[in-house]
């Protein structure tokens, strides 16, 4: 029987990864002290085994899958749980954090006597039998990559130490989500001048794949915009505040919050993006 794996905290991505592993025979432990009711509901629906935090420490691998702002909080909690534990799990940070934050998480984990692995997740949560996202891990975690691959998930190791996987996540999201947010900004501006239809036609003629990507991304980003804002700020920190390009992502974060506020309010921008 496969050893249990620990996973905290089951948001949409974490729960879907956990559900896939459970379905393929891996016992997945989670703890829910201090987590939301929706985390509990998702954990139960995914078939995760909800345990006390102490029991998580028996796993060989501990996967941290939380919003970027909570990555350090969870690392500090994990460090506390390590006290008096002879062989704590390997802490695997899969979050959308920049390489500097990853190094800070590493310092906390290693000071608590545990091993740290830098990782990231690219793509959408697994759904049905579709392959789902790819998990990238530093190359000292080949054993975990093999375990995940053997149990229904796509995993790769990356050359480079701590920071390479985090940098990959930042740069990939900076392009992929950045393109969606630029497209949203321009679709809204064009529509204010009655040029939305002309924009679609022109893009369709010269950039059909990009238009297809926007057709998927514009309605899809609306419910995610609130969550994307701090991710855009992580990307600004990844670039470095001294560089001009950081301002692009600071402004994209503000754009995310404006879109999220619109969706919670009048929904005028949301209607334009859904209809583009």
The least CB distance from residue 3 to a second copy, in Å, is 29
The least CB distance from residue 46 to a second copy, in Å, is 24
Q: Are β-strands 134-138 and 116-122 bridged in parallel, bridged antiparallel, or unpaired?
A: antiparallel
The least CB distance from residue 145 to a second copy, in Å, is 14
Among residue numbers 92 through 131, which ones bind a second copy (CB under 8 A)? 99, 122-123
Distance CA 35, CA 172 (A): 29
Burial state string for 147-181 with b = 16 or more CB within 10 A and e = fewer than 16: bbeebbbbbebbeeebbbbbbbbbebbbeebbebb
The least CB distance from residue 158 to a second copy, in Å, is 5
69 near a second copy, judged by CB under 8 A: no
**Contact between residue 36 and residue 52 where contact means Cβ atoms under 8 Å apart:** no
Distance CA 153, CA 133 (A): 8
3-class secondary structure for 134-150? EEEEEHHHHHHHHHHHH
Among residue numbers 159 through 218, which ones bind a second copy (CB under 8 A)? 159-160, 163-168, 170-172, 174-176, 178-179, 181-183, 185-190, 192-195, 198-199, 202-203, 205-207, 209-210, 213-214
Q: How many residues bind a second copy (CB under 8 A)?
A: 61
Among 255, 260, 262, 263, binds a second copy (CB under 8 A): 255
Distance CA 192, CA 164 (A): 41
Among residue numbers 132 through 161, which ones bind a second copy (CB under 8 A)? 134, 136, 158-160
Q: Which spans of this chain sit near a second copy (rule: CB under 8 A)?
A: 99, 122-123, 134, 136, 158-160, 163-168, 170-172, 174-176, 178-179, 181-183, 185-190, 192-195, 198-199, 202-203, 205-207, 209-210, 213-214, 238-239, 243-248, 250-252, 254-255, 257-258
């Amino acid at each position: 029987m496969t050893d249990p794996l620990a996973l905290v905290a089951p948001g949409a991505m974490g729960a879907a990864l956990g559900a896939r592993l459970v379905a393929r025979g891996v016992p997945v432990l989670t703890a829910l002290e201090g987590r939301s009711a929706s985390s509990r509901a998702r954990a139960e629906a995914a078939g995760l085994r909800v345990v006390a935090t102490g029991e998580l420490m028996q796993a060989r691998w501990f996967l941290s899958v939380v919003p970027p702002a909570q990555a350090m909080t969870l690392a500090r909690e994990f460090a506390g749980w390590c006290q008096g534990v002879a062989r704590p799990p390997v802490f695997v940070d899969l979050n959308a954090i920049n390489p500097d934050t990853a190094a800070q998480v590493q310092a906390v984990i290693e000071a608590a006597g545990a091993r740290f692995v830098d990782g990231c997740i690219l793509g959408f949560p697994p759904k049905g039998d579709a392959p789902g996202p790819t998990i990238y891990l530093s190359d000292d975690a080949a054993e975990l990559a093999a375990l995940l691959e053997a149990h229904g998930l796509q995993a790769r190791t990356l050359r480079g130490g701590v920071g390479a996987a985090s940098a990959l996540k930042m740069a990939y999201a900076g392009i992929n989500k950045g393109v969606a947010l630029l497209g949203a900004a321009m679709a809204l501006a064009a529509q204010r001048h009655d040029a939305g239809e002309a924009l679609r036609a022109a893009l369709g003629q010269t950039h059909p794949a990009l238009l297809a990507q926007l057709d998927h991304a514009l309605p899809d980003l609306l419910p995610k915009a609130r969550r994307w804002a701090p991710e855009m700020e992580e990307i600004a920190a990844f670039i470095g505040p001294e560089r001009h390009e950081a301002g692009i992502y600071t402004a994209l974060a503000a754009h995310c919050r404006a879109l999220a506020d619109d969706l919670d309010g009048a929904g005028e921008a949301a209607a334009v993006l859904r209809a583009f």
